[in-house]
Structure 1
Amino acid sequence: MNTMTQTAGRAGSVAPPYAELATKLRGALITPDDAGYDGARAVYNAMIDRRPAAIARVADAADVVQCVNFARVHGVELAVRGGGHNAGGLGVWNHALVIDLGAMRSTTPDPAGHRVRVDGGCTWSDVDHSTVAFGMATPTGFIASTGVGGLALGGGIGYLSRRFGLTVDNLLSADVVLADGRLVTADEHNYADLFWALRGGGGNFGVVTSFTFRCHDIGENGTIIGGPVLYDLADTAAVMRWYRELLPSLPEELNGWLGLITIPPAPPFPEELWGRKSCAIVWCYTGSHDKANDVLAPVRDFGAPLVVGLQEMPFTVLQSAFDGLYPPGLQWYWKADFVHEISDEAIGIHEKYGASLPTGHSTMHLYPIDGAAARIPETATAFAYRGGGWAGVIVGVDPDPANAQLITDWAKAYWEELHPTTAGGAYINFMMGEGEERIRASYLDNYDRLAQIKAKYDPQNLFHINQNISPAAAA
């Protein structure tokens, strides 16, 4: 195994003994001289180009303990990578030791107990594969290739949120390697303060090597009714006004996120619509199919849609529907905010920037935080935005690095004009590097409690390559 000749760790200029670490791991340690280094450091967002000192493809929790202890003792930066989807690419960092959990992908469904245990390196496609076969699921996001750890620790907003809450609301326990190298299990009765913080506090408190989630029966043996309804972009204002009033009145078995998109140039969309800008709502109905016609009638019948793509499908199909459109390796620039209401002022701004979508992949989405997700008190978990509304995200996206500035400028301008109409904070899973003030705003009154828990479990801020919560100062 090749080793580093130099690195820039927090302790100084002396290179840590990575060769010694390699001998202690069941998994592989990859350094810049190794052939697979560039592939190992690549993340979902190709706008991120960082060069870690070493990447540990850990095989188990014991490997994680070795890496955490090594980083602490030698004073090197430590980054943690699950699925690599993080908006700011925080799973890799220059000169850091990266703990790559991607080889830890086992799942253990428990159909009788309606739960599933999953390793920290799993993606949501791994989880859905293991649960939907038994007609059940746990709330996740909207892209199946997303890593479980990043999404779950940040909150977890998805198709099932109106009916069953966020991912964090369905977390039963977590196995965590702490900054001091201990492996503990946190749940409602053990390390309860840590368990509270993990449910929305991101990667600030340790490396989660295993999650156990509550599962729920969905659809007819895992078959749901869902898909997109697309409208002409000129109908955006009417669709948004109708949607903002309709959504809270719908049965919680029906959820739908709204977006401004360019219709993909591929089946199943009609060829005459390829490349056309559109206002879209993607619906997911997980209730009894006997009631589906009545429940779905309002969303089928409104306006003059270009496409009504509602149909029966396994939940896994809807969950993975956008994976092909958004493969790893695209250029991404993200901006986000929570939204309490879709005001008329905001609708005008959406119309303006929807008409100027700069590339075919660039888009704006509004994801509901409603129903079961909004009934949880804001202090019950670290995830604080429980007052109803939406998690909004604006993303400039394109395959071509030459368009990086174009998509960045569009997303920034859109956000800057829209931000005064929003709630202030943002979903941390959608944030890039935006500073402490934005992080504080995203946790509301929960921030100070998180800072106290951070001081208890990570007083030296070993886990700081994240949307960082600084440890509270000693009283």
Structure 2
Amino acid sequence: MTTHTEADLRTGFAGEVILPRDSGYDEARALFNGMIDRRPAVIAQCANTDDVARALGFARERGLEVSVRGGGHGVAGKALVDGGLVVDLRMLHSVTVDPDARTARVGGGATMGELDRAAAEYSLATTGGRVSTTGVGGFVLGGGSGWLERKFGLACDNLVSVELVTADGRHVRASEEENPDLFWALHGGGGNFGVATSFTMRLHPLPAVSMALLLWPMEAGPEILTAYRDFVDSAPDDVGGGALYLTAPPEEFVPDDLVGRRVFAFLITYTGTGSKANAVIGPMTRLGHAGGMQAEIPYPDLQCMLDDPPGYRNHWSAEHLRSFPDDAVTRFCEMSADMVIPSPSQQVLFPMGGAVARGPEYPIPWRRDPWVVHPFGLWDDPADDARAVAWAHGLRDAMRPWSSGAVYLNFIGDEGTDRVREGLGEENLRMLAEVKRRYDPDNVFHHNQNIRPAA
């Protein structure tokens, strides 16, 4: 067999082939998580699906490990592989909206910000990640939890079809009518089955959203979090948001005496504006907050509010809760008071329920859980690595008495095969392994939350 050289890969390749000796190499391999420092042998920045198939063929002939990069936002850094080939999809970032059908065709390398802005031109939206820099591909294939999920369901619930290239170079389309077994697997099974080059997403009317981001001194946390929990438990599906401890930034809406201090905050979102939104959100804005802001804003602006610049060191984890009683509230708040958390890390609690809990039986065992705790570690200094990881795992472990045992895999890093099983469910994992065997029997796509093919 003739082994192709890098020059052969470049011949007829519409995108860019980047090697370690090339000037743009370090920029091309940079990820959102500054802890990740991997050196691929080849970065194939694909401009079309033929480029994807060609890159996979090259890797197969050279015996190279393969990783797939969409947004590059995943905390474990699985988008890069040392000494292997990266199928980089960032050139495939177009978004085409059909306002009559209320759908969007989204390139496999697009970010949520690109999808949000394109849909907003027609006053449409779909559930997206809680920051605009998240890649659509990994987000949707992993399930897709976001601000709008209680109203419109998870991102994968709004998936109409996927086009992907398999490990052997085949072009495959998956939908409810075509390859339904694969389509089912793509609702939570991640990038285990091929390189997703295009998604068609269902959109919903959403001219604007109402939001309130309110802050209190840290010691007010238990009282206000209890009120927030009770509010969400009886709130309509239009309500989303989250509660969190964070270091208050130097923003106009933050009082000077809170800047740089650990504070408790919550964000309430409402899929609408005007008197109806005010009637629902109003009681929570009268709890005596020390700082904050309220606004009616376009959904893409909400999506950008909590964006953090790339380059921070990151470690995330999660624990899904079957309930959130008073003892759990107390423990959650104690963990923020007891541990020194590197800034700008956030200790987050997201409510679920609504349309999420009523959604289809895809391989998402955490769908029915009403709450999820999400330690979101961000810091600058490598000397803080061990402390930050210990905090994230400590919070997760502290909430175990109320845990359902399930976990959203997009919220965690590489935590082992048991966590993958918890993220997908035992029976689902067995069925997913059968689908994996049909589409990727050699487990080429294993730089992810991996599903091994059935024997």
Contact 2:45 2:87 in 1 (8 A): yes
Name the structure 2 match of 1:449: 431
Contact 1:336 1:427 in 2 (8 A): yes
In structure 1, which of residues 286, 299, 302 is the aligned counterpart of residue 271 of structure 2? Answer: 286
CA-CA distance at 1:69 after TM superposition: 2.1
Name the structure 2 match of 1:335: 317
Name the structure 1 match of 2:27: 39
Please say if 1:60 is aligned against 2:41. Answer: no
Find the aligned partners of 2:20 and 2:416 in 1 and give their Cα distance. 30
Contact 1:157 1:367 in 2 (8 A): no
Q: Which moved more, 1:463-472 or 1:222-231?
A: 222-231
Find the aligned partners of 2:371 and 2:169 in 1 and give their Cα distance. 38
Find the aligned partners of 1:358 and 1:24 in 2 and give their Cα distance. 50
In structure 2, which of residues 280, 299, 304 is the aligned counterpart of residue 315 of structure 1? Answer: 299
Q: Which moved more, 1:271-280 or 1:96-105?
A: 271-280
Closer/same/farther in 2, CA of residues 278 and 16 from structure 1, 3 Å limit: farther
Find the aligned partners of 1:268 and 1:34 in 2 and give their Cα distance. 45
CA-CA distance at 1:255 after TM superposition: 1.1
Q: How many residues align?
A: 452
Contact 2:353 2:369 in 1 (8 A): yes
What amino acid is the match of 2:296?
A: E
CA-CA distance at 1:152 after TM superposition: 0.8
Cα distance per residue 1:374-395 (max 9 Å; x no partner): 1014xx2222322131232112
Find the aligned partners of 1:129 and 1:87 in 2 and give their Cα distance. 25
Find the aligned partners of 1:405 and 1:422 in 2 and give their Cα distance. 24
Normalised by the length of structure 2, the TM-score is 0.95
Name the structure 1 match of 2:205: 217
Find the aligned partners of 2:401 and 2:10 in 1 and give their Cα distance. 50
In structure 2, which of residues 354, 368, 393 is the aligned counterpart of residue 412 of structure 1? Answer: 393
In structure 1, which of residues 233, 237, 241 is the aligned counterpart of residue 226 of structure 2? Answer: 241
Name the structure 2 match of 1:252: 237
Name the structure 1 match of 2:451: 469
Name the structure 1 match of 2:335: 353
Find the aligned partners of 1:180 and 1:318 in 2 and give their Cα distance. 41
CA-CA distance at 1:288 after TM superposition: 4.7
Name the structure 1 match of 2:376: 395
Name the structure 2 match of 1:435: 416
CA-CA distance at 1:87 after TM superposition: 1.0
Give the match's secondary structure for 1:94.
Answer: coil
CA-CA distance at 1:419 after TM superposition: 3.0
CA-CA distance at 1:357 after TM superposition: 4.2
Contact 2:365 2:406 in 1 (8 A): no
Find the aligned partners of 1:216 and 1:96 in 2 and give their Cα distance. 40
Cα distance per residue 1:313-347 (max 9 Å; x no partner): 11111100112xx1000011112122222233332
What amino acid is the match of 1:126?
A: E
Contact 1:300 1:308 in 2 (8 A): no
Task: Give the 5 Å matches for 1:12-27.
Answer: 17-27=5-15
Find the aligned partners of 1:443 and 1:169 in 2 and give their Cα distance. 16
Give the match's secondary structure for 1:204.
Answer: coil
Normalised by the length of structure 1, the TM-score is 0.91
Q: Which moved more, 1:405-414 or 1:367-376?
A: 405-414
Contact 1:275 1:360 in 2 (8 A): no
**Structure 1 runs, 4 residues or longer, greater than 4 Å off:** none
Closer/same/farther in 2, CA of residues 424 and 35 from structure 1, 3 Å limit: same
CA-CA distance at 1:292 after TM superposition: 1.8
Unaligned ranges ≥5, structure 1: 1-13
Cα distance per residue 1:381-410 (max 9 Å; x no partner): 222322131232112211223322332222
What amino acid is the match of 2:70?
A: G
Percent of matched pairs sharing the same residue: 40
Cα distance per residue 1:281-306 (max 9 Å; x no partner): 111111252312211122222x3222
Give the match's secondary structure for 1:373.
Answer: coil
Task: Give the 5 Å matches for 1:131-142.
Answer: 131-142=119-130
Q: CA RMSD in A?
A: 1.7
Please say if 1:375 is aligned against 2:363. Answer: no
Name the structure 2 match of 1:458: 440
What amino acid is the match of 2:311?
A: G
Name the structure 2 match of 1:111: 99
Contact 1:228 1:280 in 2 (8 A): yes
In structure 1, which of residues 248, 264, 267 is the aligned counterpart of residue 249 of structure 2? Answer: 264
